[in-house]
Structure 1
Amino acid sequence: MAQINTCLKHTFTIFNILFAIVGGVIIGLALLCQVVTNVEGREDLEGRTGGLVALYVFGAITMMVAILGAYGAHKESKCSLIAFLVCMIIGTLLMLRAGIPTAIARPQVENILRAKLQDYLPLDDAPSDLQNMANSLQTSFHCCGLFSYTDWRTNIPQSCSCDPQMEEGQCQNIEYRDLLFQFAQTKSIYAKPCFPIMMHYILLFFDVLLGVVFTLAILALLGLVLSSIMIHQLRYPNRPTVLLSVPTIFAPAPPKYQELHNPPPY
């Protein structure tokens, strides 16, 4: 005989399906990040491997917890539901622990990154790995320099070159003095700097991350409530459903007196 309310069991099953879908999306994001960050010559991006592994593990754990909850509801297993409840409590605390500091740090990211990158200017004197990264950004985003083309001084690389006929509206003509022949030359380069474009994607990443973290926190809190109710039903299977009723102290009191009617005479 079923001990868990059927409607509650179906609701919990739908919840775990959504939870499993979120885990699959996280794994998909990890695959996408792996493809996007696999830039030629930059396979050893700092923190890339650790971040990808964390995404894969987190997505896999999310799907496993969803399967555990669905199994516990289907079999009405108290042990599985208690394990699911513990996972939801831990998950809620972890999501809040990660999401709140990230939300606080987001407005400061641009100023911190700007100050750090300005320490490497000019780019033609920067380390070779930073120059390679800048060239990759310029080729991918069609920009030149981090904050301006003057970041390269007069050694503007080929990755800044822009074809006015192919990329109309994205180019600008500049004059610079050639170091070899010592005469002014005109060159067409990308008009936009790379830093604003780069910050757009970084802040977008932070927004997506915050959305995922707080969505998972809400789902974990909802799973905590649903699993707690089901565990309660399994623990007290014969207890009737409690309905709200008006307390007896507020029941209408009988009248203090009643009007007496004399029977009609015969």
Structure 2
Amino acid sequence: MMDCTSVMRNYSRYLLVIFNFFFALTGILIISIGASVKAYYNEYESFLDEKYMYSSDLLIVVGVIIFIIAFFGCCGAMKENVCMTTTYSSLLIVVFILEILVGIGGIVLKSKTRDVVENALITTMKEYDNPKYNETTALWDQVQNQFQCCGVMNYTDWMTSNSTDHKLPISCCPIPTGATGVMTCNQDNAYKLGCLDKFTDYIEGHATTIEGVGIGLAVLQILGILLSCYLSKQIRGDYETV
């Protein structure tokens, strides 16, 4: 009959294989989330700091590493190879640290988002309608249309800006379906809310995603670290006994 230690080792091995199967799936999920967040951030790149791009890039890198590490975990568990399981445990610890850093980065970005967005909106507002900054004009129109907002705090910001000769951009007003001809926008039909709060909430939401994925998976990963360390110890013990 198998002794208790052998039974526990077998359970740990199979549990580690199952864990790594789902671990590989989480790697794919992280890559997808990182790519999606990066796409959202790239859409408004002119309004954001480069650190937002780096955070999503790091999430993608972590996802790729996790997917590769899962291979070592499965092979090491099935073959009961002490070298592979030890390497696997070490790599898991490295990824664990990276995920914590990603989570902390998400928290830091989230706390600074409002200031970053406010400074960017105020600065770029002066570039609106300037032929040199067509991209900025298009981005402002996109933000105001998408979030149904006008100006930074409200539509009066455009009155004090030197970018449009104190006129409101057409994107500050809802455009009726099927409307044709020259459209105008004034304070009576302009969106009453500014873009700062709505746009900040949008960016913070994706920063929260990075934060949650990083810290959440790091906590889950502790199980894999414990299992691999236990299996390595048992395998090493068998070699020493032999």
TM-score (norm. length: structure 2)? 0.73
Q: Percent identity?
A: 25
Are residues 140 and 117 of structure 1, via their aligned partners in 2, closer, same or farther at CA, if it must alter by over 3 Å?
closer
Q: What is the distance in 2 between the residues matched to 1:62 and 1:203?
A: 26
Matched, 1:140 2:146: yes
Q: What is the distance in 1 between the residues matched to 2:41 and 2:108?
A: 26
Matched, 1:162 2:174: yes
Q: What is the distance in 2 between the residues matched to 1:228 and 1:39?
A: 43
Displacement after TM superposition at 1:31 (Å):
4.0
Matched, 1:114 2:118: yes
Matched, 1:214 2:215: yes
Aligned twin of 2:226: 225
Q: What is the distance in 2 between the residues matched to 1:190 and 1:92?
A: 45
Once superposed, what is the RMSD of the aligned Cα atoms? 3.7
Displacement after TM superposition at 1:15 (Å):
1.7
The 8 Å contact of residues 55 and 105 in structure 2, kept in 1 or not, is answered as no
Is there any run of 5+ residues in structure 2 with no aligned partner, and where?
160-165, 179-184
Displacement after TM superposition at 1:121 (Å):
4.8
1:48-127 → structure 2 map (5 Å cutoff): 54-100=58-104, 102-104=106-108, 106-122=110-126, 124=128
Displacement after TM superposition at 1:75 (Å):
1.5
- Partner deviation per Cα, 1:66-112 (whole Å, 9 max, x = no partner): 12111111121212111111101212223333433543553343234
The 8 Å contact of residues 17 and 77 in structure 2, kept in 1 or not, is answered as yes
> Whose radius of gyration is greater, 1 or 2?
1
Displacement after TM superposition at 1:204 (Å):
1.1
Q: Which amino acid aligns with 2:20?
A: N
Displacement after TM superposition at 1:146 (Å):
2.5
The 8 Å contact of residues 163 and 188 in structure 1, kept in 2 or not, is answered as no
Aligned twin of 1:250: none
TM-score (norm. length: structure 1)? 0.67
Is there any run of 5+ residues in structure 1 with no aligned partner, and where?
167-172, 176-186, 241-266
Tell me, what secondary structure is at the counterpart of 2:189? Answer: strand
1:2-17 → structure 2 map (5 Å cutoff): 5-17=9-21
Q: Which amino acid aligns with 2:151?
A: G
Q: What is the distance in 2 between the residues matched to 1:210 and 1:194?
A: 24
